[in-house]
Amino acid sequence: MSTARTAPVGEFGDRKRAQMLADIVRDSPARAALFRRVFEGQASPRQAIKANCLQCCWMDIEAIRHCTSTECPLFDLRPFQKAVS
């Protein structure tokens, strides 16, 4: 009886998260620590929202600032907004 071989799971126990972190390290290494904290469950809610927006717009801060996806439940909480006085 042979066992099927599968791709390595990675340090988070999830292939998708391991692949996403590898993509982030390749494309935006400065953001890797944020995503690592989120994947480890050690991020604050604000950090998790920031990571979600960065992932959605693939690290494009200007795209987050000008986001028009009002149907997103995090729309009013998205980062990189100028404070309204």
In angstroms, the CA 12 to CA 20 distance is 11
In angstroms, the CA 49 to CA 74 distance is 7
pTM for this prediction: 0.80
In angstroms, the CA 85 to CA 81 distance is 12
3-54: pLDDT as tens digits: 544 445 566 678 888 899 999 999 999 999 999 999 999 999 999 999 999 9
Residue type, 51: A
